[in-house]
Structure 1
Amino acid sequence: MNLYENKRRWNYLLLVAAMIIAATSLWYTDLLVRGISKSERTRAEVWSQSFKKMFETDNEEMMNYLFTVKDSLVVPAIVTDDKDSIITYTALDTTKTFYKIDTGRVYDPAYFLRQLKSMKAQHEAIPIEMNGKVKYVYYKDSFLLTQLRVFPYIQLSIIGLFLMTAYLIFNSSRRTEQNQVWVGLAKETAHQLGTPISSLMAWVELLKDKFDAEDDPLIQQMENDVKRLEIVADRFSKIGSRPILTSHPVYQTIKDYVDYFSIRVSDKISFEVTGDQNQEALLNVPLFDWVIENLLKNAVNAIEGEGKISVNITENIAKQQIYIDVCDTGKGVPRSKFEAIFQPGFTTRKRGWGLGLSLTRRIIENYHKGQIFVKESELGKGTTFRIIIKSSLNYVPTIR
């Protein structure tokens, strides 16, 4: 299992674990809510019976006892007749009243009607028979029970927000640390390559002089490879630094690299560069060549046996953008992997590092302020990557 797949697997496991914890918390809270709700129903029924008995007894001691029981079991409740007319109420807002004769509080019948509607929505009425008529007791959840219903969602939201913040901070810190390591490693690699490259350049010049082989094609290819090594070292030295972009012809830049690359792969794979040859864009050529190299290598690896790789360059004049489509006739990419293939560590090869396309996206988006994505792909038929970069049509170089 490659690095990307392993990371994704752990992400799924952590997500499942979080869902289990959340579900367990909600289940247990629901269990508590049901228990308390059942208890409050019992209290409401006892309160209803106490209220009824108060009107049926003349015994003063029993009356005092019933008052004590009723007050100890108080719940927000309203008693109505069969026409929903409010007879009395308890444990509601003490600053308001339903009766005009109570001048010490605010007369607000609308408030009690809203409370009655809320109680009806929450619980079934408790019928009680008084003086041969049926009265109905409506009640609602206590403040504690209402809080308990909402609390787990608030708790999980706070925990989720905390974990997300912690993850983002940790991830940012880890990325910064990784970037520093990679930048340091890249610059050290460039430094280490410098000495042998200089020696190779000297040896090539010595071979030319000694054997009078200035025009020898083998020596020229050796010289091209040494220059290529020099470009690679220059690429590594630029990692972590802000590259300088200058206006270059896009077609010729790509054509030069394709010509270099094509003679170093199998003859069974053909190459073609087509499109507008006059358009220019702001490029850092060594880094942009790296992009084309990664896409071409990716295309070559996708082709099994014979195949074709083509690069087509078009322009969107209205948006002042240049489109570069790199097409191959390889095995294709599943649609579900269109974004995943740009993630660090994602690879379909046993010996791959999974960094090529990730670096490609970083170079295009971060350094050239463009876009790169999988335009289309079909399994068994091939893939097309599209690069979008700004045209330098109106570019005016800075004079220093």
Structure 2
Amino acid sequence: MNPYQQKRRWKYLLLAFAVVIASGSLLYTKYLVKNIAKSERTRAQVWALSMRQVLSSDDNDFLNYVFAVRDSLTVPAIVVDDKGEFRYTKGLDTTKTFEALAAEGNKALTYDTTYFKTELSYMKEQHAPIKLNIFDSQWLVYYKDSALLTQLKFFPYIQLSVIAIFLLTAYTAFSSSRKSEQNQVWVGLAKETAHQLGTPISSLMAWIELMKDKFNAENDPLIAEMENDVKRLEIVADRFSKIGSRPILEDHLVFDVVKDFMDYFRVRVSDRISFEMSGDMQARAGLNIPLFDWVLENLMKNAVNAIQDKGSIKVEISENKVKKQVYIDVSDTGKGIPRSKFDTVFQPGYTTRKRGWGLGLSLTKRMVENYHNGQIFVRDSEVGKGTTFRIVLKAMKNDD
């Protein structure tokens, strides 16, 4: 298992653990809510029965006890008679009831009809009524959940939301800090590598010139190829020196840039792999040659590694004049990539090779997107038949 897959597995395990904790919290809260709701219904029934005793008993001592029981109810309730008229209330907003003088001069309670009807409707939705037979008629006692029970219902969701927001914020801050630190290490390492390569490269160039003079080998093809490789090392060192700084993009014919690199690369791989180029020869884009050659090198090396024995690598250049984009499709006849891995192949550490570091395509994506303001993705792939990577660049104005 490569490091990226191992890291992803840990993420899934932590996510599963978080889901278990959240589910356990919700289930336990639901259990508490169910028991409290059951207890509140019992208290509502006791209140209803005590009210019936108040209306039907003349024993003052007993009535004092009944009043104490009745007034201990904390659950909001409304009692209506068989005609739907409000008879009694408990635990509602007292500002919605007020005293008024009846026609005979006696005080009577009047109600905010809209408020009470709204509350009654809400109670009907929450619980079935408690039925009481009083004065040869049936009264109904409606009640709703207490404020404590209502808060308890929503508490776990609020709690989990706050925890999730905190963890997300902390994770984002930590990831940003870690990414910044990794970038600093990467930039420092790259620049130090470029610095260390500078001295031996200069020495090699001097030795090559000395060999040409000493052996009169100005046109020797072996020394010419040696010189090309040393120049290639210079380009590699230049690439590393540019990491961490904004590279300068210059207007180039994309076809010519790709062809120059392909001509260099093809003589350094097996002759059982053929190379082909086609497409728009006039398409232009802003490129930094050392970095873009690095992109092509990574893609073509991956293509060579994907081809088991004999195959071909094809590069096609096209331009979408409507979208003002240049497309570079790099295709091979290798072993292909499963569709589920189309995005994964660009993750740092992902590799299918035993000795691979899994950084090639990750760096390629970085150079295309961050340094060339473009895109790169797997356009198409089929296991056993081959893969096509597409690079999308912003087209430059063609003066022709």
Give the TM interval when normalised to the shorter protein.
over 0.9
Structure 1 75/203 Cα, relative in aligned 2: closer, same or farther at 3 Å?
Answer: same
Structure 1 12/138 Cα, relative in aligned 2: closer, same or farther at 3 Å?
Answer: same
Corresponding residue for 1:53? 53
Question: Any idea what SS the aligned residue of 1:369 has?
Answer: coil
Pairing partner for 2:152 from 131, 148, 151 = 148
Question: Any idea what SS the aligned residue of 1:95 has?
Answer: helix
Deviates more, 1:94-103 or 1:276-285: 94-103
Distance 2:78 2:52 in 1: 13
Alpha-carbon distance, 1:50 to partner? 0.7
Alpha-carbon distance, 1:203 to partner? 1.2
Does structure 1 residue 87 correspond to structure 2 residue 87? yes
Does structure 1 residue 203 correspond to structure 2 residue 212? no
Amino acid at match of 1:48: A
Q: CA RMSD in A?
A: 1.8
Distance 2:37 2:341 in 1: 49
Alpha-carbon distance, 1:118 to partner? 1.0
1:77·1:139 contact (CA, 8 Å) conserved in 2?
yes
Work out the percentage of aligned pairs sharing the same amino acid.
64
Distance 1:295 1:394 in 2: 27
Distance 1:168 1:367 in 2: 24
Alpha-carbon distance, 1:9 to partner? 1.0
Mapping 1:116-265, distance limit 5 Å:
116-265=120-269
Question: Any idea what SS the aligned residue of 1:240 has?
Answer: coil
Distance 2:348 2:127 in 1: 56
1:291·1:363 contact (CA, 8 Å) conserved in 2?
yes
Pairing partner for 1:357 from 361, 365, 369 = 361
1:282·1:368 contact (CA, 8 Å) conserved in 2?
yes
Alpha-carbon distance, 1:107 to partner? 4.2
For structure 2, the residue ranges without an aligned partner over 5 or more in a row are none
Structure 1 257/101 Cα, relative in aligned 2: closer, same or farther at 3 Å?
Answer: farther
Corresponding residue for 2:14? 14
Structure 1 74/331 Cα, relative in aligned 2: closer, same or farther at 3 Å?
Answer: same
Alpha-carbon distance, 1:87 to partner? 2.6
Mapping 1:290-329, distance limit 5 Å:
290-329=294-333
Structure 1 105/340 Cα, relative in aligned 2: closer, same or farther at 3 Å?
Answer: farther
Deviation sequence 1:98-137 (CA, Å, 0-9, x none): 9876999984211111111111111111111112222111
Does structure 1 residue 109 correspond to structure 2 residue 79? no
Deviation sequence 1:25-55 (CA, Å, 0-9, x none): 1111112111211111111111111111111
Amino acid at match of 2:267: I
Deviation sequence 1:325-347 (CA, Å, 0-9, x none): 11111111111111111111111
1:77·1:140 contact (CA, 8 Å) conserved in 2?
yes
Question: Any idea what SS the aligned residue of 2:327 has?
Answer: strand
Deviation sequence 1:211-234 (CA, Å, 0-9, x none): 211111111111110000110011
Corresponding residue for 2:27? 27
Distance 1:98 1:210 in 2: 117
Structure 1 194/106 Cα, relative in aligned 2: closer, same or farther at 3 Å?
Answer: farther
Distance 2:273 2:86 in 1: 89
Structure 1 246/141 Cα, relative in aligned 2: closer, same or farther at 3 Å?
Answer: same
Normalised TM-score (structure 2): 0.95
Distance 1:316 1:272 in 2: 21
Q: Which runs of 4+ in 1 moved over 4 A?
A: 98-107
Does structure 1 residue 269 correspond to structure 2 residue 278? no
Distance 2:398 2:334 in 1: 38
Distance 2:108 2:165 in 1: 47
Alpha-carbon distance, 1:88 to partner? 2.3
2:129·2:141 contact (CA, 8 Å) conserved in 1?
yes
Distance 1:284 1:181 in 2: 23
Does structure 1 residue 280 correspond to structure 2 residue 284? yes
1:186·1:239 contact (CA, 8 Å) conserved in 2?
yes
Question: Any idea what SS the aligned residue of 1:290 has?
Answer: helix
Normalised TM-score (structure 1): 0.95
Does structure 1 residue 341 correspond to structure 2 residue 326? no
Distance 1:5 1:68 in 2: 67
2:329·2:389 contact (CA, 8 Å) conserved in 1?
yes
Deviation sequence 1:172-211 (CA, Å, 0-9, x none): 1111111111111111111111111111111111111112
Deviation sequence 1:284-321 (CA, Å, 0-9, x none): 00000001111111111111111111110000111211
2:100·2:108 contact (CA, 8 Å) conserved in 1?
no
1:47·1:74 contact (CA, 8 Å) conserved in 2?
no
Corresponding residue for 1:66? 66
1:314·1:323 contact (CA, 8 Å) conserved in 2?
yes
Alpha-carbon distance, 1:60 to partner? 1.3
Deviation sequence 1:225-284 (CA, Å, 0-9, x none): 000011001101111111111111110100111111111111221111111111221110
Question: Any idea what SS the aligned residue of 2:56 has?
Answer: coil
1:291·1:360 contact (CA, 8 Å) conserved in 2?
yes
Corresponding residue for 1:398? none
Does structure 1 residue 97 correspond to structure 2 residue 101? no
